[in-house]
Structure 1
Amino acid sequence: MAIPAFILFAGFHTLPMLQGVFYSFTNWNGLSFTYDFVGFQNYISIFKDTNILNSYIFTFKFSIISTILVNILSLAIAMGLNAKIKFRNFFRAIYFLPNVLSVLIVGFVFNYLFSNVMPKLAEKIGLDSLAFNILGSSDWAWVGIVIVAVWQACALNIILYLAGLQTVPEELYEASSLDGANKWKQFWKITFPIIAPFFTINMVLAMKNFLMVFDQVVALTSGGPGRSTEAISLLIYNGGFKGGEFAYQAANSVIYFLVIVVISVVQIKFLQKREVDL
């Protein structure tokens, strides 16, 4: 029963990945039928490429800030939705809607908001310093991408945190209240340690997804202005499939794959130390 799935996975995932590793040691441009082996030359050149260095800096800045924001907001919203309020299930459905929307469509909608609606709104309320399209500024364009990415990523994280909050026994809150614990102590001493596994999952998945950001950048800025918001994934795509640097960007993708694996493993090892067993 597993053989068809194994064949499909190997054919569309494992084999192309191994081919990419193979081509990273060549000078193949992705189009010709001939290529030469260049050894580690592509890997050496990557560490001297300022465009790649700038892309790594932008991607890491974007990923770290977005991961922190999405987890803070998601946990806060999840705790609010977990409270006994009216229409709780309705609000849960509303907050999950961004997750089912197309990333490109969301990006195009926010592109219109940033370029047309927000500047006019800021001008009407007297905030002339904000009456400009932030996506057209090399200093502020990354903020627009963070806003869109965090807004859409919160949906799944909220659901996961809600699932974690359901595992916290109410008896612990009642006992801590009798001992005089306030809401902050209840959260820090009871809620957070118990939902720590869900926090670990959300942090690792969020960081991985943000490191691989592509659609939001394409829909909002296409890597501009200039190359100020060019993420690594977009750089690999543009250079590999449009710029005739297939082998060179294959080497870049191998390095980036290893970077993501190392970051994910370190996150898991560090965050799992906070997890507790009930």
Structure 2
Amino acid sequence: MVKRNRAFLLMTIPALLLFFAFHTYPVLQGIFYSFTNWRGYGEWDFVGFANYLNVFQDMRALSSYGFTFQFAIVSTILVNIFSLLIAIGLNAKVKFRKTLRAVYFVPNILSILIVGFIFNFLFTHFLPDIAEALGITWLTSNILGDPDTAWIGIVIMAVWQATAFNTILYLAGLQTVPEDIYEASKIDGAGKWRNFFSITFPLIAPFFTINMVLAMKNFLMVFDHIIALTGGGPGQSTESISLLIYRGGFQGGQFAYQSANAVIYFVIIMAISIFQIRVLQKREVEM
């Protein structure tokens, strides 16, 4: 038995080495360089916490944080609303239920860049042309070309694609709700809304917690959607933190500075996720 356990441990060594080489070591290296003035090449010197302090004085970084939080909060709320409604509809006894589940999951397996290019065409040409033909003046212009509305286009695309995965999780949660509870509530005269708020939602609360945390984390790390739709424009109105870190670190000679920005952002995402888990799990107990 001892030899068998030792063999299992030895089998994990290659995976651990690969994980350390391609994940842990680069992370530690990035944290180390965040305390230097390294530009990604050449010599460097230690600067202490100067990079971290400069992030909070950088208006471009603060603007990126503002856009990212706005996008993540709105998208997380919309995704969970739509995915829950779709999951409830797909969980009902309708024809072609399994086929519909497969169809609704298709957006999740598509490449974000490909979907982004398609939505870019829709917002740039397709919708304005249709709006002009129908006389809808407010939709005749490309919303991606307006700094005030470009973020809405990104939200629409991100929510459309992310809803598929969250729907699957909600469907899994709805499968755990016993049917006899609904039968008992029907005898008591409870309606659909009462069933949802008193039975369905409390029983799938753990799945709601998972979806909220995962959706918020993924949207806070938004990158591909912006690259495909706006490239961070117009100007810098849709530049997310991930995009700012990439451009500044790998294209702008700010490797150490953006490494500090990445560390700060990692701490923020972790703090938000922990806060969500504690608050939502507390609500689960209260339900």
Identity in percent = 67
Structure 1, unmatched stretches of 5+, are none
TM-score, structure 1 normalization: 0.98
Residue 135 of structure 1: aligned partner? 144
Alpha-carbon distance in 2 for matches of 1:150, 1:111: 15
Q: Does 1:20 align with 2:47?
A: no
Alpha-carbon distance in 2 for matches of 1:87, 1:238: 47
- Pick which of 56-65 and 180-189 moved more: 180-189
Q: In the alignment, residue 161 of structure 2 is paired with which amino acid? A: Q
Residue 194 of structure 1: aligned partner? 203
Q: In the alignment, residue 33 of structure 2 is paired with which amino acid? A: Y
Alpha-carbon distance in 2 for matches of 1:137, 1:80: 36
Alpha-carbon distance in 1 for matches of 2:113, 2:92: 33
- Residue by residue, what CA displacement relative to the aligned partner does 1:234-266 show, whole Å, maximum 9, x if unpaired? 000000000000000000000000000000000
SS in 2 for 1:43: helix
TM-score, structure 2 normalization: 0.95
Alpha-carbon distance in 2 for matches of 1:70, 1:119: 25
Aligned partners of 1:25 and 1:39 also within 8 Å: yes
Alpha-carbon distance in 1 for matches of 2:282, 2:180: 25
Structural mapping, 1:1-278, within 5 Å: 1-32=11-42, 34-275=43-284
Aligned partners of 1:193 and 1:274 also within 8 Å: no
Aligned partners of 1:196 and 1:276 also within 8 Å: no
Alpha-carbon distance in 2 for matches of 1:94, 1:8: 36
- 1:174: Cα distance to partner? 0.6
- 1:3: Cα distance to partner? 1.2
Alpha-carbon distance in 1 for matches of 2:285, 2:261: 39
- 1:128: Cα distance to partner? 1.1
- 1:274: Cα distance to partner? 2.8
Q: In the alignment, residue 181 of structure 2 is paired with which amino acid? A: L
SS in 1 for 2:57: coil
Aligned partners of 1:194 and 1:276 also within 8 Å: no
Structure 2, unmatched stretches of 5+, are 1-10
Alpha-carbon distance in 1 for matches of 2:27, 2:44: 18
Tell me the number of residue pairs that the alignment of Structure 1 and Structure 2 aligns: 277
Alpha-carbon distance in 1 for matches of 2:179, 2:93: 13
